[in-house]
Amino acid sequence: MEKQGIIIMTNGPVVKARGIREFAMHEMVYVGEMRLMGEIIRIDEDEATIQVYEDTQGLKAGEPVFGRGEPLSIALGPGLLGNIFDGVGRPLGALYEKGGIFIPRGIKVPEIDTEKTWELEPEVKVGDIATSGTVIATIKETPLVSHKVMVPPGLEGEFTFVLPKGTFKADVTVAKVRDSRGQEIEIPMVQRWPVRVPRPCRQHLAPKEPLITGQRVIDGFFPIAKGGVAAIPGGFGTGKTVTQHQLAKWSEATVVVYIGCGERGNEMTDVLEEFPELEDPRSGRPLMERTILVANTSNMPVAAREASIYTGITMAEYYRDMGYDVAVMADSTSRWAEALREISGRMEEIPAEEGFPAYLPSRLAEFYERAGRVVTLNGDMGSVTIIGAVSPPGGDFTEPVTRHTKRFVRCFWALDKSLANARHFPAINWVDSYSEYVGEVEDWFSLNVDTGWSELRKRAKDLLAEDERIQQVVRLVGEDVLPDSERLIAFTSYLIKNGYLQQGAFGPDSFSPPSKGFAILSLIMHFYDRASALIRQGVPFSLLRGGDAVANLAHLKELSSEELEAQLPKIREKLDAFMEKTGSERLAARGR
C-alpha cells in the first residue's frame, strides 16, 4: 500500500500535509487527487512542507498526498541526447504529443522513450568481475556519441547474465550481477539517480586542458579549463543568452547540457529549431546529436525551476561517467536563486540579503562543486565544465547572487552594457573579466597553438590596459593632444577590439579556432612593433594608419580559418611592404 498523508494548507507552490511520519525528507510525493509532482522540503513533527512542481490551483484541504519512496530522481539511459526535458526530467516532446500546446497538470509520461529500439553491443561476458562503473554494453546513441550502459555505483560482484548483441527497447535488463552476499541483482538499461546527490567518481583531478569554445575573447584572453567553472554576469540586453548559445554550439565538448532556467520560451524554441540545422565543426554532424536541453521557462512552476539545475547537472555527470567531456550551460542561475527565494519566502524563513535565504551561498557552492575533471569509477577520464549565466538586477555586480557566485567560480566573463550598446559582441569586458585557469592551460596552448601564446596574450592585455588609461585622457581633452606613441597604442587597441575581440554570432566567424585568433593577434601586434619602431625614428603616426594593409587588420576575422591560413604569408608581406615603404619614404624626405 502507498504511504499517504493529507493536505492541510495550500499557499501557491507550497503545500503543507499531515500524517507523514513515514515519509523521508526530500522524498518525492504526488499531491492531491490530480497527483501533482512535489518534494518534501521540511518536516515539523507530523507536518511536512512540500514544494509542488506543478500549478496548485484547485487543491483542497483533505486531499491525499502519496509517497513515492525515493528522493527526486530522474531516469538516465539512451535517448537523452537530442531531447528536451522540463525541470523535473519529463520529456517535453512526449508531453506535447499527449497534452497538446499547454502543459496539463498531473500528466504522466515515461521519462525515457521505451518504444524506441537500440543496437546493443555487449562489452563483458558471464563470469566477468563487475565493479561500480564497469561498462556492460555500448549503444550508438547518436552518430556522435556512443552510450555506455554501466554497473550502477555501489554494486560489485560477478556477472551471471549478460544480454547478447541485438536490438532492444530501453526497458530491458542488460545484465545480472551476483554480489558478495550471493544476491542476484538485475541491472536495467535505464537507471534512476537522485538529482540532488552528486554521482560518485574515483578521484578529482586538477584542470589542465582548455575547453576550446571557438570564441576568441574567451580562448585567447580568459580561457576556461575542462572541468572548470565560469560565470557570465550581465544585465538584460548584454547578450548573455547569445553568448551561452555560442558556447553551447561551438564548445569542444562531447556532450552539451543546456539548462534554460526561468528564461524565455522562444529562446528554447530557437535552440530546438537551430541546433538540428547547425553542423558540429569537427564532425559535420548536426549539433543536436550531442545536446540535451532542460527547459523550465519563466512561466512554468517555480519549484520545478529550482530543480532544473540539478536535473541538468545529473545528466551531465552521467555522461561524464562514460568518460566524456561534458559542458553545462546554466541560463540563468539568478532565476534559480530567485526560485529559492520565492520558496523560502512562502515557507516564512528569515531572509538574509535582499530577501534571499541565508543558505544561498552554500547551495551555489554545492552546485558549482559538481564540476570537475575526474577519474571515473571505471578508471576512465571525464569532465564536467559549468558555465553559469548570472542576471544581476539592474546590471549591478554587487548583488548577492553575483557576489557569491564569484566566490565559487574561477573564471568570470563580465558582460558590459556599454559594449553591448555599441554592438560589440561578445560584450565581454576585458578589464573586469578574469580567468584563473590561464596558468594551468598555458602549456597546452604552447604545445598546440604556438609557443608564443602566453607572451602574446600578456602583451595584448597590457596594451589594452594602457589604452584604458589613455582613453580617460581622450575623454577629457580629445585625441589630438596625445603623443604619437600613445595614439599608436589607442589605434592598436582599436584594432584588437574590432579585429580580434569582436566576433559575429553568425556566419563563418562564429567559430574561430585558437590558431585563427593567434594569427590575427600576432599580425596586429606585429604591426604595433614595426609601427612603434618607426615612430621612434620620427615617422608620424598619421602616415602609418592610412594604408589598406593596416585597415585590413580589422577585417581579417571575416576570413575562415582555412582562408586565413592560406593567405597569411601574403597578408604579412603586404603589411611589411607598406611599413617599409612609408618608413623609408618619410625618412628619406627628412634626410634631404
Partner 1 sequence: MPLVDHVGVDQIYGPFVLLKGASDVGFGELAQIRMKNGDHRLGQVVLNGEDATLVQVFSGTSDLVPETTAVRFLGRPLEMKLSPALIGRVFSGLGEPRDDCGPVYSAYSRDVNGSPLNPMARVYPRNFIQTGISAIDVLATLIRGQKLPIFSGNGLPHNRLAVQIANQSQLVGEENFAVVFAGIGVKRDDAAYFMEELFEKGRTKNMVVFLNLADDPVIERIATPRFALTVGEYLAFELNMHVLVIMTDITNYCEALREVGVAKGEVPSRKGYPGYLYSDLASLYERAGVLKGIQGSLTQIPILTMPNDDITHPIPDLTGFITEGQIVLSRELDSRGIYPPIDVLASLSRLMKDGIGKGYTREDHPDLASQLYASYSRVQDVRALASVIGEDELSQIDISYMDFGKSFENTFIKQSYDEDRDISESLDIGWKLLKMLPRNELTRISKEEADARLK
From the list 45, 115, 277, 480, which residue makes contact with partner 1 (rule: CB under 8 A)?
480
Report which secondary-structure segment, H or E, holds 120: strand 117-122
447 sits near partner 1 (criterion: CB under 8 A): no
> Cell numbers at residue 521, please?
593577434
Pairing of strands 36-44, 4-11: unpaired
Q: By three-state DSSP, how is residue 62 classified?
A: coil
Name the minimum Å distance from CB 25 to partner 1. Answer: 23
Name the minimum Å distance from CB 282 to partner 1. Answer: 25
From the list 59, 255, 257, 259, which residue makes contact with partner 1 (rule: CB under 8 A)?
59
From the list 71, 106, 351, 452, which residue makes contact with partner 1 (rule: CB under 8 A)?
351
525 sits near partner 1 (criterion: CB under 8 A): no
Nearer to partner 1 (CB atom), residue 222 or residue 541: 541
Name the minimum Å distance from CB 314 to partner 1. Answer: 21
From the list 19, 41, 55, 543, which residue makes contact with partner 1 (rule: CB under 8 A)?
55
Q: Which of residues 324-343 bind partner 1 (CB under 8 A)?
A: 335, 338-339, 341-342
61 sits near partner 1 (criterion: CB under 8 A): yes
Q: Which of residues 214-253 bind partner 1 (CB under 8 A)?
A: 235-237
Nearer to partner 1 (CB atom), residue 166 or residue 265: 265
Q: How far apart are CA 20 and CA 3, in angstroms?
A: 8
Strand order in the sheet with 146-150: 146-150, 135-140, 117-122, 166-169
State phi, psi for 76 to the nearest 5 degrees.
Answer: -120, 125
Q: Which of residues 355-374 bind partner 1 (CB under 8 A)?
A: 355
Nearer to partner 1 (CB atom), residue 374 or residue 414: 414
Nearer to partner 1 (CB atom), residue 299 or residue 584: 299
From the list 92, 149, 384, 579, which residue makes contact with partner 1 (rule: CB under 8 A)?
92
Nearer to partner 1 (CB atom), residue 132 or residue 498: 498
- What mask of x and - would describe binding to partner 1 in positions 406 to 445, judged by CB under 8 A? ---------------xxx----------------------
Residue recorded with cell 547537472: 313
Stretch of 312-320, 361-369, 476-484, 511-519 lying at the interface with partner 1 (CB under 8 A):
476-484
Q: By three-state DSSP, how is residue 5 classified?
A: strand
153 sits near partner 1 (criterion: CB under 8 A): no
List Cα–Cα distances, 279 to 262, 511, 560, in angstroms.
28, 11, 15
Q: How many residues does the chain have?
A: 592
Nearer to partner 1 (CB atom), residue 477 or residue 566: 477
| Cα 537 from chain centre | 50
From the list 146, 446, 498, 567, which residue makes contact with partner 1 (rule: CB under 8 A)?
498
Nearest to 238 by CA among 512, 400, 371, 433: 433
From the list 19, 64, 71, 99, which residue makes contact with partner 1 (rule: CB under 8 A)?
99
Amino acid at 540: P
Q: Which of residues 257-316 bind partner 1 (CB under 8 A)?
A: 262, 264-266, 268-270, 272-274, 295, 297-302
Q: How far apart are CA 395 and CA 405, in angstroms?
A: 15
Name the minimum Å distance from CB 207 to partner 1. Answer: 32
Stretch of 10-18, 127-135, 153-161, 451-459 lying at the interface with partner 1 (CB under 8 A):
10-18
Nearest to 384 by CA among 305, 318, 287, 309: 318
Q: Which of residues 502-521 bind partner 1 (CB under 8 A)?
A: 505-506
| Cα 164 from chain centre | 37
60 sits near partner 1 (criterion: CB under 8 A): yes
From the list 1, 101, 206, 588, which residue makes contact with partner 1 (rule: CB under 8 A)?
101
Nearer to partner 1 (CB atom), residue 8 or residue 205: 8
Nearer to partner 1 (CB atom), residue 121 or residue 479: 479
Q: How far apart are CA 591 and CA 52, in angstroms?
A: 84
Nearer to partner 1 (CB atom), residue 100 or residue 569: 100
345 sits near partner 1 (criterion: CB under 8 A): yes
Nearer to partner 1 (CB atom), residue 176 or residue 249: 249
484 sits near partner 1 (criterion: CB under 8 A): no
Nearest to 457 by CA among 505, 414, 513, 500: 500
Stretch of 127-135, 157-165, 366-374, 550-558 lying at the interface with partner 1 (CB under 8 A):
550-558
Instruction: Mark 224-250 as b/e (b = at least 16 C-beta within 10 Å).
Output: bbbbbbbbbbbbeebbbbbbbbbbbbb
Q: By three-state DSSP, how is residue 7 classified?
A: strand
* CB-count exposure of residue 102 (10 Å: 0-12, 13-18, 19+): exposed
Name the minimum Å distance from CB 281 to partner 1. Answer: 21
472 sits near partner 1 (criterion: CB under 8 A): no
Q: How far apart are CA 496 and CA 521, in angstroms?
A: 7
Name the minimum Å distance from CB 475 to partner 1. Answer: 6
CB 2 within 8 A of CB 66: yes
Q: By three-state DSSP, how is residue 152 classified?
A: coil
As a whole number of angstroms, the longest Cα–Cα distance in the chain is: 105
Nearer to partner 1 (CB atom), residue 45 or residue 480: 480
551 sits near partner 1 (criterion: CB under 8 A): yes
CB 432 within 8 A of CB 414: yes
The three state secondary structure string of 550-584 is HHHHHHHHHCCHHHHHHHHHHHHHHHHHHHHHHHH
Nearer to partner 1 (CB atom), residue 466 or residue 558: 558
Q: By three-state DSSP, how is residue 177 classified?
A: strand
Q: Which of residues 371-410 bind partner 1 (CB under 8 A)?
A: 391, 393-396
CB 205 within 8 A of CB 227: yes
Q: Which of residues 161-220 bind partner 1 (CB under 8 A)?
A: none
Q: How far apart are CA 328 and CA 276, in angstroms?
A: 19
Judged by CB under 8 A, the number of residues near partner 1 is 79
